[in-house]
Amino acid sequence: MAMVAIRGALHRELASEVAMEAMVAMFVFAMVGYVAGQIADYLVRDSLEQSFRARVHWYREGLVKAGLDPTAIVGDRGDQNDATKTN
């Protein structure tokens, strides 16, 4: 907006014209910023998801190498629904 205002002052344009041009310029830059932000958001989310999936894959491979079942669900010790629990 400042550049549009300076240009308008140098060319001795009316304030109403300069204000309108400044608002249009601000809107255009806001749209460019929005698109750039959406692209950056997508790239960061994709990168984090790939990193997370690689880490989970590495963890599961470690479990297999250690002889543990990576698909076993580990419950807490106080589980009331444990079928092996005797009264």
- State pLDDT tens for residues 7-55: 777 778 777 777 888 889 899 999 999 999 999 999 999 999 999 999 9
Least confident of 17-21, 58-62, 68-72: 68-72
pTM: 0.57
Other beta carbons less than 10 A from residue 5's beta carbon: 15
Tally of structural domains, the chain: 1
Which residue do the tokens 């204000």 mark?
Answer: 19
Name the residue with higher pLDDT: 6 or 34: 34
Cα–Cα distance for residue pair 72/60, rounded to 1 Å:
11
User: Among the listed ranges 7-11, 12-16, 62-66, 77-81, which one has the minimum average pLDDT value?
Assistant: 77-81
Residue 77 placed within a domain: no
Query: Domain range holding 46?
Result: 2-65
Residue 32 domain flag? yes
pLDDT higher than threshold 50 for residue 87: no
Structure tokens at 34: 């929005």
